[in-house]
A and B are shown apart, each in its own frame.
Chain A
């Protein structure tokens, strides 16, 4: 068992900002991340063995990430990479998997910043190789420097797709179409006006949009993929127009031959660890989903445990960083380190930054709101639980058999029992329950998380110190 003053879980924007802030204030800080390199998804970098040509300018986001990491490495924070937090037990004790052994780390204070995952959207054929999340394409292009496909269709909602499209074009790919589900794309007048004031974001968005225009990429509003076709891999995507509720309009479908389809329908907080720690979740209307409850100091409902970043609500990197700093300062104060007045001043400063950042987050959240019609794309034959092959038809039937909860559906259909532990199917099962019974999503509680939150080899437990 290792005891530390402050343990931070998650090395993305929130975790990094928290670590630097807490260290600067004088705390002993350990930052833990499951990947081999820090940055989370937003600041994803190339692997250690790669190097970047300093002669050419990297994308702004990439360069910002490099800067943040340089600041972190110089700060004296202890970094535990390739270290999976698979459980949280009493007294803020983290169960981790490191070097193939289970170990424990107990923090006097704990900051949980595990981030988010992408929203799964299912339709016939979505499991074919070649259909992937937008984040997968980005991870491959940005970090591995591999373009995953040649003829690409993008489908999603909001401004992130413009970036993915731009990245594919820069990498020499052909973007055959961008399907924007909303009838009010980010390029619309309304969002254009609301973006005024967020100049650097506007400039970035415009950059992507111009690139797409130059390539004559079809940008189709009110369109979704309805079917992915192929025997062993994706060969074509069938698309259709939707109404303002994102329900498919009967009539013309179109088929586009493509080898890659990227889905970017937004993000969901990864609340497995916060729930495991006993933190309460709440369902704010504007979030449209369950988020970890945090007070004004980023404290969760569990004493000594803070949450920062996407796990408390999707807000983007600027919000995540400000929340990380706030959580760090609150934790430092709770540890009795530093001067209260100085901490208070710094907290006030960070709160101002957070307020500003939240304004832009509100705008992107509006642009990325998902409408329920999207989840009617699941036909009865569509696989919903990718791990266990449970279909939408089986789940719909199970809803009417009784106990229409994620757990009840899991027991009857195996949806959620596989290796991903419900990460991909849980949100879809919730949508199916909601649709079948006419309930709001807020009426559907999340399943009880149990350790390990990701599969851990038995030998690691046998050889470990628990």
Chain B
């Protein structure tokens, strides 16, 4: 169950629309938006799972906490909240199964 975030329409004109691929689904985002915004606007709040299997998404929102990490155009562990979208960008969130190894204490 994902609660969609909502784009606000009062007093703002966004940049031109761009197509972004989020986990195999093409969606429309707008120039100037961050990858985090593009993901949140489609209801995706779980951006990754840690090696321990814990879901993570946006926390600090300003590029300090390194929790909102996704794979962008093949580059892993990119901060979604400070990376602007580009037409044709491919974003992959990281599923729980990606880490077979356990963390050692």
In the complex, B11 has a CB within 8 A of chain A: yes
Bound Cα distance from A140 to B2, whole angstroms: 18
- Which residues, 45 to 70 on B, are CB-close (under 8 Å) to A? 45-47, 50-52, 54-67, 69
Bound Cα distance from A140 to B32, whole angstroms: 12
Query: What secondary structure prevails in chain B residues at the interface with A?
Result: loop
Are the CB atoms of A420 and B66 closer together than 8 Å? Answer: yes
Pick the residue among A50, A232, A260 that contacts B46 (CB under 8 A): A232
Q: Which residues of A contact B56 (CB under 8 A)?
A: 127, 129, 386
Are the CB atoms of A423 and B64 closer together than 8 Å? Answer: yes
Are the CB atoms of A140 and B77 closer together than 8 Å? Answer: no
Name the distance in Å between A20's Cβ and chain B's nearest Cβ.
Answer: 24
Given A36-B84, A41-B62, A146-B37, verify A53-B12 contact (CB < 8 Å). Answer: yes
Bound Cα distance from A172 to B37, whole angstroms: 17
- Which residues, 146 to 199 on A, are CB-close (under 8 Å) to B? 146-151, 171-172
Name the distance in Å between A52's Cβ and chain B's nearest Cβ.
Answer: 6
Name the distance in Å between B98's Cβ and chain A's nearest Cβ.
Answer: 15
A37, closest chain B residue (CB)? B32
Q: How many residues of A contact B (CB 8 A)?
A: 57
In the complex, A35 has a CB within 8 A of chain B: yes
Given A146-B37, A386-B65, verify A132-B2 contact (CB < 8 Å). Answer: no
Pick the residue among B41, B47, B54, B62 that contacts A136 (CB under 8 A): B62
In the complex, A8 has a CB within 8 A of chain B: no
A147, closest chain B residue (CB)? B6
B54, closest chain A residue (CB)? A127
Q: Mark B1-32, 1 if CB is under 8 A from A, else 0.
A: 11101111011111110000000000000111
A35, closest chain B residue (CB)? B82
Are the CB atoms of A46 and B65 closer together than 8 Å? Answer: no
A144, closest chain B residue (CB)? B37
Given A58-B11, A117-B64, A146-B8, verify A49-B32 contact (CB < 8 Å). Answer: yes
Name the distance in Å between A236's Cβ and chain B's nearest Cβ.
Answer: 12
Bound Cα distance from A138 to B46, whole angstroms: 20
Q: Which residues of A contact B63 (CB under 8 A)?
A: 34-35
Bound Cα distance from A58 to B82, whole angstroms: 23
Bound Cα distance from A46 to B12, whole angstroms: 9
Bound Cα distance from A136 to B63, whole angstroms: 10
Name the distance in Å between B9's Cβ and chain A's nearest Cβ.
Answer: 8
Are the CB atoms of B3 and A149 closer together than 8 Å? Answer: yes
A34, closest chain B residue (CB)? B63
In the complex, B71 has a CB within 8 A of chain A: no
Q: Which residues of A contact B5 (CB under 8 A)?
A: 140, 146-149
Q: Which residues of A contact B7 (CB under 8 A)?
A: 145-146
Name the distance in Å between B81's Cβ and chain A's nearest Cβ.
Answer: 8
Q: What is A's interface to B at a CB cutoff of 8 Å?
A: 34-36, 41, 46-53, 55-56, 58, 117-118, 127-133, 135-141, 144-151, 171-172, 232-233, 235, 259-260, 383, 386-387, 389, 394, 418-420, 423-424, 455
A-B contacts, 15 listed (Cβ < 8 Å): A36-B84, A47-B32, A118-B60, A127-B59, A133-B61, A136-B59, A139-B61, A139-B62, A140-B37, A145-B8, A145-B14, A147-B5, A147-B8, A233-B55, A419-B66
Q: Which 10 A-B pairs have the closest CB atoms?
A: A136-B61, A49-B15, A129-B57, A47-B32, A49-B32, A419-B66, A49-B31, A259-B3, A129-B45, A56-B11
Known pairs A50-B32, A118-B60. 11 more at Cβ < 8 A? A47-B31, A50-B30, A53-B12, A129-B56, A136-B58, A139-B81, A145-B12, A147-B5, A233-B55, A389-B52, A455-B66
